[in-house]
């Protein structure tokens, strides 16, 4: 019950802010949190979690019992560009990418007392 997103065109540091907010939550709760989050990566992470949930349903799991067991963001390749500066100098610009992996687990919900 996995899904992965490769070469997402945003830096891993910014994507980790979004993934840390949903780590350990149920898929339904994570969907609500991500739909109201004002970050650009929230939409891509929401789509990735829905994809992992669909993979789990195809394997016979119940979508109500799915929890985000692990979600990790690793660095991808870096596009190296340069910006012309004063006196004929060029300064580097690194355009970073991210690899995101999601692992879901089926956990029975405990009713609250």
Residues 6+ apart with CB under 8 A from 68: 22, 23, 24, 25, 26, 27, 30, 49, 102, 103, 104
Q: How confident is the model at residue 113 (pLDDT cuts 50, 70, 90)?
A: low
Place of tokens 């949903």: 22
Q: What is the pLDDT of residues 49-77, one digit of tens each?
A: 999 999 999 999 899 999 999 999 999 99
Q: Is the pLDDT of residue 109 over 80?
A: no
Q: What is the pLDDT of residues 21-38, one digit of tens each?
A: 999 999 999 999 999 999
Contact predicate 30/67, CB 8 Å? no
* Residue 4 DSSP symbol: E
Q: How confident is the model at residue 1 (pLDDT cuts 50, 70, 90)?
A: confident
pTM here is 0.88
> What order do you get walking across the sheet with 2-8 strand by strand?
2-8, 90-106, 66-84
């Amino acid at each position: 019950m996995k899904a992965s997103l490769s070469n997402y065109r945003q830096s891993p540091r910014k994507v980790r802010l979004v993934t840390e907010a949903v780590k350990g939550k149920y898929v339904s709760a994570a969907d609500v949190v991500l739909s109201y989050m004002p970050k650009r990566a929230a939409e891509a992470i929401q789509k990735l979690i829905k994809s992992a949930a669909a993979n789990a349903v195809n394997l016979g799991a119940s979508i109500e019992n799915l929890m985000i067991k692990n979600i990790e963001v690793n660095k991808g390749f870096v596009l190296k560009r340069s910006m012309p500066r004063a006196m004929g100098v060029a300064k580097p610009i690194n355009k970073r990418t991210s690899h995101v992996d999601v692992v879901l687990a089926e956990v029975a919900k405990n009713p609250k007392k």
